[in-house]
Structure 1
């Protein structure tokens, strides 16, 4: 707002006539200087905060990749174990036991897969909210 607009508003509201050399405008100028300084500091803090969020997001993505790789390796090991168990089973009792183990392995596989997807979803939501 410039000085003319301020003078007009003050005249309308308070019925006081001021000129541009009135000392009250020194306060307005000081306020503008303080406000500009405050905005500069806020912009610096905002930039720092944005940088921190980007590094945080990068770290989360790396952790997700590592977690995903370890889950894939664990799932591969489970599948290999079930295949070797199926090949070594001989008696009907062992076959029944193998079927149960296979069902348990499949259940474990799905639990791990669903848990991984839920974790990815939650992390995505966290990142989306913070950005």
Structure 2
């Protein structure tokens, strides 16, 4: 979809339908940019985690060395930070989609059954 800059201009969709450019508000654009920036931050944390983890694998020496201790702390920190960002983004997504509460409930017994069946297939 291509949309030009002014509010009165029109963009065309792939199927030829026309939409008004003002259908996307400035708030929506700002929110979208904030979500993308947050996901990029989580991505940076994951890249840092993988870098630290890779260094640990390259040096499988004594885990009590100061360098390895720092790398382990870095791994946990980066993974935790990424996880926090992803949880926050999922919560914001759930709020914006207004998903009925019944869809958000997890059927833990079904999940456990499925996991067990997948594990049993592997043997």
Same fold per TM (> 0.5)?
no
Structure showing the higher strand proportion among its residues: 2
Q: Smaller-chain TM-score range?
A: 0.3 to 0.5
TM-score by length of structure 1 reads: 0.40
TM-score (structure 2 length as normaliser): 0.42
Task: Flag the structure with more relative contact order, 1 or 2, with Cα contacts below 8 A and sequence separation at least 6.
Answer: 1
Structure number with bigger Rg: 1
